[in-house]
Amino acid sequence: MNGPTGGSFTVIDRRAEDEISEVSRLYINGALVSTFALSINHDSKAITVPVPLGRLDVPYVLCGEITVNHNGHIESHRVSSEGVLHNPDSHYYEAVGTENFNDFYLTDYADPGAAEHQPGHSAKCAAPTS
């Protein structure tokens, strides 16, 4: 994002214990801001995102694929979600997966009201093509 901003916030994605790999994309205001590529050798990534000037509510979308070892079976899950970050300046959001990675979203553990998400998959994520 070019020009003046309304501060910034941090997003971190960490590989879960049963996760083998992950490739996910974070969109803010419809624009791709980062791709998180996690593996056994690269277990986290943190980014700083500028807040668009004058924005108090900032929409986000997470899209990607996660491969896990679930009870000895290798499974791949498409993950996606969308939501809104409220007054995100100076917040620290984590990408978290719940329900066996069927729900994947951003949260701020120190201020849970700073992010909301719509449970379930986002219609804004296109299926990966090869």
Name the nearest CA neighbour of 119 among 66, 77, 83.
83
Cα separation, 86 vs 4, in Å, equals 19
**Site of tokens 């409220």:** 86
DSSP 39: B
pTM of the predicted protein model: 0.87
Q: Which domains does the chain have, with CATH numbers?
A: 5-118 (2.60.40)
Identity (one letter) of the amino acid at 8?
A: S
Residues listed for the chain = 130
**Site of tokens 């901003």:** 5
Q: What angle do CA 10, 3, 54 make, to 5 degrees?
A: 70
Q: What's the confidence (pLDDT) of residue 129? A: 47
Cα separation, 127 vs 77, in Å, equals 12
Q: What's the confidence (pLDDT) of residue 1? A: 46
Q: What's the confidence (pLDDT) of residue 32? A: 93
Tokens of 15: 């590989």
| Residue ranges for the chain with pLDDT beneath 70 | 1-5, 100, 120, 126-130
Burial class (CB in 10 A: 0-12, 13-18, 19+), 9: buried
Q: What's the confidence (pLDDT) of residue 126? A: 66
Q: What's the confidence (pLDDT) of residue 4? A: 53
**Dihedral pair phi/psi, residue 112, rounded to 5°:** -55, -25
